[in-house]
């Protein structure tokens, strides 16, 4: 983990629902652990599985993908692709020997600021409980 | 890669960011990041001073990428992009870092961690900005016709306001006639004029306007497309309608408080709207009426205030009292919401006429007593500190407006969100109150939250004025975040084509590589589904390329 046993967690949030939900959490001044960094994408389906693998193999302790609830995708069907990819990706992570809990997919709507805060808190706690990411690749020598 | 000259502007947002995140320390940190040639703190980056300073620094330091760390792109991206453009920089050479909503506001009691997190977010933004490229926006035509869903006071006002500007309007109303909830109302506060004095001219205006087509007893079945070019199907209507903008004015309905205070089993327990129906036929000689406010409002499973229900109870109390000055009228309330000059005056008038206001405690609510019909109401009178029994020839329950039952269906159809209470959720409460984050879709009246006539009319003017902008301009520019295919990497597998929700991708013959994917940028909405589906990295998205996102991941991982 980064320092002082604090994890570093990368969060991809879709522009239309989850990023807005995260904004609402801010507007509502909901406090949550400070270990998550949100990256905005237009749709959760933009998140290439390689991003998750890259993040975990570089030592990040967790990756979270947040999208619109099923049926609510701004692009109609993007989050359905995300859901299918996530399922496969979790299997792949287990196969290569990494705790699949380090990768999480959740649905958060624009009005769910409180759910965003709760989700980030729960996931941070769960990843802290897992301990540091053991899959971290050794830094290049020299 | 040409030399990057990045400028970083870190906003204090007054105390909003600066009160938690140590901005000067963050500025120092940003200054030392690779390719950053200038960094400054700004009290308010979005103020005239902040924007002027940004433009000056772009020129003075020859900046070719700009990173602003402040609030959210959802409200301020356009402003900062415009500023870059005014300084001669392509508007897509700008990157937004959110250190307010996503940092200072959610870590208010952890200034050290918040400061470190802000640094990390800026590092990621700076890293991404190195890979930003200038982009051109694609223009598309806007059909100068609007769809207004809902023929109540908000919808009719919006429709008429658009028509009077020379724009065609399709007004769809589910009911058999225009008027919505207002047609059920008797009189309106604060002047106690008949509702139809307002309603009738509006209905006539809409019916007689040659540019308004009205669909009564009709529902919108499907809406597809985007700003400028929505394709709409109305149930039982053959032709497909094309419109440029959509206004949601579907209103709300009165809560029927089944199971509370003897409703509806006790014969003399009514809702305010049911009372109004009877008042239309004239004021009976009621001797005693007890009204109970906040029934089903400001409770655990419906936390909002109905905004004008207190005034409705006062209005009907005044009308009954004026009909029979001897009548005993009690309004049992939790708090009286009567804000503003007119409402306060109205409240005083009710008290002067002898309407009694008694505050009750929701923990110890009033009880209706009687068999088959209410005879008396027992309530704990908080001021005199004991229970009182009030005579009640009639009990009127004041309930809030609640969302329409099919809001969810419409919200999915239009791809716009609902709030936690089930009303439509605007793009921003203060900055964009009558529009959705989705371009070309607007909102007014009680579909958004319970609104009285004054508010509904103002919102309808606002929504129609906003909707008129793209229709009068005739063109909209789409954000340049579309996908593009790098033909030299494409092997023509067609994954992208299958996942594209918009049919924007086709396989084209290429002279050297057989079939390759090509994107029709006019149809692409920039979701990036195809990019993640491409096994070769041939498909990319402007502003969200693999390289841009991967470099953010690497920047974050560097400190780990």
Tell me the residues of chain A between 39 and 78 that have a Cβ less than 8 Å away from chain B.
39-43, 45-51, 54-55, 58-61, 71-78
Higher pLDDT, A6 or B320: B320
The answer to the question of residue A42 being in a domain is yes
The pLDDT value given to residue A139? 59
The pLDDT value given to residue B511? 83
Give the residue-averaged pLDDT of B272-276.
Answer: 97
The answer to the question of residue A71 being in a domain is yes
- Half-sphere exposure for B153 (CA within 13 Å, toward CB): 25
Predicted confidence (pLDDT) per residue in A32-61, tens digit:
999 999 999 999 999 999 999 999 999 999
Q: What does the alpha-carbon distance between residue A31 and residue B109 come to, in Å, rounded to a whole number?
A: 8
pTM: 0.86
> pLDDT at residue B448 above 70?
yes
> pLDDT at residue B285 above 90?
no
The answer to the question of residue A122 being in a domain is yes
The answer to which of A126-140, B113-127, B294-308, B478-492 has the lowest mean pLDDT is A126-140
Kindly state whether B111 is in contact with chain A, defined as any CB-CB distance less than 8 angstroms.
no
Full residue range of the structural domain in which residue A111 is found? 9-130
The pLDDT value given to residue B512? 80
Mutate to test the interface with B, among A110, A116, A134 (most CBs of B within 10 A): A110
Do B106 and A29 count as a contact with CB atoms less than 8 A apart? yes
pLDDT band at A142 (very low <50, low <70, confident <90, very high): very low
Do B550 and A72 count as a contact with CB atoms less than 8 A apart? no
The pLDDT value given to residue A141? 60
**Domain count of the fold of chain A:** 1
Kindly state whether A98 is in contact with chain B, defined as any CB-CB distance less than 8 angstroms.
no
Question: Is the ipTM reported for this complex over the cut 0.90?
Answer: yes
The answer to the question of residue A30 being in a domain is yes
The answer to the question of residue A2 being in a domain is no
The answer to the question of residue A1 being in a domain is no
Mutate to test the interface with A, among B528, B535, B537, B543 (most CBs of A within 10 A): B528
pLDDT band at B359 (very low <50, low <70, confident <90, very high): very high
Q: With contact defined as beta carbons under 8 Å apart, do B8 and B36 qualify?
A: yes
CB-based contacts of B224: which residues, under 8 Å, 6+ apart? B230, B231
Mutate to test the interface with A, among B413, B553, B554, B555 (most CBs of A within 10 A): B553
Tell me the residues of chain B between 416 and 475 that have a Cβ less than 8 Å away from chain A.
417-420, 425, 437-438
Give the residue-averaged pLDDT of B280-297.
Answer: 91
Predicted confidence (pLDDT) per residue in B29-76, tens digit:
999 999 999 999 999 999 999 999 999 999 999 999 999 999 999 999
The answer to the question of residue A142 being in a domain is no
Q: What does the alpha-carbon distance between residue B93 and residue B508 come to, in Å, rounded to a whole number?
A: 31
CA distance A17 to chain B (A): 8
Q: What does the alpha-carbon distance between residue A43 and residue A73 come to, in Å, rounded to a whole number?
A: 8
CB-based contacts of A93: which residues, under 8 Å, 6+ apart? A52, A53, A56, A99, A100, A102, A103
CB pairs under 8 A between A and B: 160
The pLDDT value given to residue B341? 85
The answer to the question of residue A51 being in a domain is yes
CATH number for the domain including A116? 3.40.50
């Amino acid at each position: 983990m980064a320092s002082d046993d604090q994890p570093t967690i990368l969060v991809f949030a879709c522009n239309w629902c989850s990023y807005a939900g995260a904004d609402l959490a801010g507007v509502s001044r909901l406090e949550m652990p400070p270990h998550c960094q949100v990256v905005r994408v237009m749709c959760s389906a933009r998140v290439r599985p390689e991003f998750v693998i890259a993040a975990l193999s570089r030592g990040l302790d967790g990756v979270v993908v947040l999208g619109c609830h099923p049926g609510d995708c701004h692009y109609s069907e993007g989050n359905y692709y995300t859901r299918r990819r996530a399922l496969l990706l979790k299997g792949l992570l287990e196969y290569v020997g990494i705790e699949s809990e380090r990768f999480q997919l959740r649905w958060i709507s624009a009005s769910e600021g409180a759910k965003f805060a709760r989700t980030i808190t729960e996931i941070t706690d769960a990843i802290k409980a897992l301990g540091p990411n053991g899959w971290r690749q050794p830094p290049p020598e020299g | 890669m040409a030399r990057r000259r990045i400028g970083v502007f870190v906003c204090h947002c007054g105390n909003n960011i600066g009160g938690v995140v140590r901005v000067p320390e963050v500025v120092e940190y940003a200054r030392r990041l690779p390719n950053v040639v200038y960094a400054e703190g700004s009290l308010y980056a979005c103020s005239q001073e902040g924007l002027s300073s940004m433009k000056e620094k772009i020129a003075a330091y020859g900046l070719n990428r700009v990173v602003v760390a402040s609030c959210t792109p959802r409200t301020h991206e356009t402003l900062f992009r415009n500023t870059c453009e005014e300084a001669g920089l392509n508007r897509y050479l700008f990157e937004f870092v959110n250190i307010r909503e996503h940092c200072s506001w959610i870590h208010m009691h952890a200034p050290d961690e918040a400061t470190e997190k802000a640094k990390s977010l800026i590092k990621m933004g700076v890293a991404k900005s190195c890979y930003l490229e200038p982009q051109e926006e694609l223009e598309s035509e806007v059909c100068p016709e609007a769809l207004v869903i809902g023929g109540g006071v908000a919808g009719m006002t919006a429709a008429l306001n658009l028509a009077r500007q020379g724009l065609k309007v399709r007004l769809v109303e589910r009911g058999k006639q225009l008027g919505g909830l207002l047609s059920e109302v008797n009189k309106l506060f604060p002047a106690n004029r008949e509702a139809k004095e307002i309603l009738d001219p509006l209905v006539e205006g809409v019916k007689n306007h040659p540019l308004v087509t009205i669909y009564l007893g009709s529902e919108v079945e499907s809406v597809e497309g985007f700003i400028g070019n929505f394709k709409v199907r109305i149930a039982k209507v053959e032709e497909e309608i094309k419109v440029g903008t959509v206004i949601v004015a579907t209103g709300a309905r009165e809560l029927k408080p089944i199971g509370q205070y003897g409703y509806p089993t006790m014969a003399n327990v009514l809702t305010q709207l049911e009372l109004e129906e009877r008042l239309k036929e004239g004021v009976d000689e009621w001797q005693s009426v007890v009204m109970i406010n906040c029934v089903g409002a400001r409770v655990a499973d419906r936390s909002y205030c109905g905004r004008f229900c207190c005034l409705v109870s006062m209005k009907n109390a005044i009308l009954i009292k004026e009909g029979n000055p001897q009548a005993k009228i009690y309004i049992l309330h939790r708090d009286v919401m009567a804000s503003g000059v007119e409402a306060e005056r109205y409240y005083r008038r009710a008290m002067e006429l002898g309407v009694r206001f008694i505050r009750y405690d929701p923990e110890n609510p009033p009880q209706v007593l009687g068999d088959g019909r209410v005879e008396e109401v027992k309530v704990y009178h908080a001021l005199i500190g004991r229970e009182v029994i009030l005579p009640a020839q009639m009990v009127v329950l004041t309930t809030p407006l609640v969302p329409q039952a099919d809001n969810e269906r419409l919200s999915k159809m239009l791809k716009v969100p609902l709030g936690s209470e089930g009303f439509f959720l605007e793009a921003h409460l203060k900055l964009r109150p009558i529009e959705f984050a989705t371009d070309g879709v607007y909102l007014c009246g009680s579909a958004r939250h319970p609104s009285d006539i004054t508010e509904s009319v103002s919102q309808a003017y606002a929504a129609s004025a906003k909707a008129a902008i793209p229709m009068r301009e005739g063109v909209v520019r789409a954000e340049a975040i579309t996908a593009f295919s790098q033909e030299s990497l494409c092997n023509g597998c067609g994954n992208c084509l299958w996942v594209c929700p918009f049919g924007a991708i086709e396989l084209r013959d290429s002279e050297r590589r057989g079939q390759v994917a090509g994107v029709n940028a006019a149809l692409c909405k920039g979701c990036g589904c195809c990019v993640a589906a491409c096994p070769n990295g041939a498909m990319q998205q402007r502003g969200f390329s693999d390289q841009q996102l991967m470099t953010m991941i690497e920047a974050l991982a560097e400190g780990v």
